[in-house]
A and B are shown apart, each in its own frame.
Chain A
């Protein structure tokens, strides 16, 4: 028998008197063997001390429907406004979009990839398609923008938009902009970034109905921590 088998049988009290004496003799002669026995002994002791209930299989109740996370505001809470709906911010956003357009133009005509921050991988959530994925980059040229490449998404349904958010807490959710996903499931969008990304914990993409309600729907489909 292997010496591990000897040790286990010894600790379980399943050796006959002769084998037991042999193991104990070896423990007296072989320091490494003795150390192995002593290393395993508390495992057996803890298993023996485990409450009976821990061994009994129980029918675990299924999870209840999950509420939106605190940083994705609940409908009953005060609604954070979409930043891009505020006139002042809308003007800033237009300026930023123009700047981003210029930046994209520069890239298209040989500007290279300079100015982009590191890739931030967005993972799928909730009702997202199994293959849904996104990558965000901060575009640091111009007034600042966030470029988002998504793929494997469900195409937008009528009267539905995808919205890009920065989330930090129950009362801090800033919508950066909305977009539609074509039949291919992939698109690239650039939205203005009028705030510091580092001031928020998450980049989030949600499905929003076109109902005029500026609050987060709680239907997040992509999310990434801003700090990794």
Chain B
């Protein structure tokens, strides 16, 4: 996978290949974030395109000193998600349904992406792991399998599963330290 430094250099000179690499690395995470924030798969795909076009246009001005490239892309995604939610036309409400205040509270998604963005940092970092390590983490933390169950499911030796797990967590720890400037 292309490193952040190469991606940054590519964006600075307006290289479409750099955008393609960035899209490959973080496109899935951005789309997942937008689906989560917008609760509308079609809208998420539209906004996803807007996000990467904005990344393309603003790429020459991206300043790596202000945050990692993945975080910068996610901040653009959050802004475009909020714009989309603000433009959304409210559906007619049932006057006999829940109180307007309650509905407004439920539909006021504009704050949600702000709250969510920090929780997605780890998703960006997962995109930087080797595929086999990311797979082991997905099975453990999403499918909630134990390491023994992962070994049985995949046919990978338990010792190897544990090695992947240790390496993946250690790598994530290092990436977090890098992000935090440690």
Spell out A's residues near B (CB within 8 Å).
2, 4-5, 8-9, 12, 14, 39-40, 42-44, 46-58, 60-61, 63-64, 66-67, 69-72, 123-126, 201-202, 220, 223-225
Residues in A whose Cβ lies below 8 Å from that of B19: 63, 66
Question: Do residues B60 and A69 form an inter-chain contact, with CB atoms below 8 A?
Answer: yes
Given known contacts A2-B166, A4-B170, A220-B14, is B36 in contact with A51 (CB within 8 Å)?
yes
Residues in B whose Cβ lies below 8 Å from that of A201: 60
Question: Do residues B123 and A66 form an inter-chain contact, with CB atoms below 8 A?
Answer: no
Q: Tell whether B35 is near chain A: CB-to-CB under 8 Å.
A: yes
Q: Tell whether B20 is near chain A: CB-to-CB under 8 Å.
A: yes
Would you give 5 A-B contacts (Cβ < 8 Å), ordered by A?
A: A47-B137, A51-B123, A123-B15, A125-B17, A202-B14
- Tell me the bound Cα distance from A71 to B147 in angstroms: 52
CB distance from B140 to the nearest CB of A (A): 7
Question: Do residues A8 and B165 form an inter-chain contact, with CB atoms below 8 A?
Answer: yes
Question: Do residues A58 and B169 form an inter-chain contact, with CB atoms below 8 A?
Answer: no
Q: How many residues of B contact A (CB 8 A)?
A: 50
- 4 new A-B contacts, CB < 8 A, other than A47-B172, A67-B57, are A43-B169, A70-B57, A72-B14, A123-B10
What is the chain B residue whose CB lies nearest that of A13?
B146
Residues in A whose Cβ lies below 8 Å from that of B49: 61, 63-64
Residues in A whose Cβ lies below 8 Å from that of B23: 60, 63
What is the chain B residue whose CB lies nearest that of A42?
B176
Other-chain contact of A50, B17, B57, B119, B147 (Cβ < 8 Å): B119
Q: Tell whether B82 is near chain A: CB-to-CB under 8 Å.
A: no
Q: Tell whether B86 is near chain A: CB-to-CB under 8 Å.
A: no
Residues in B whose Cβ lies below 8 Å from that of A4: 166, 170
Residues in A whose Cβ lies below 8 Å from that of B36: 51, 53-54
Other-chain contact of A202, B13, B33, B147 (Cβ < 8 Å): B13
What is the chain A residue whose CB lies nearest that of B44?
A58
- Tell me the bound Cα distance from A31 to B74 in angstroms: 38
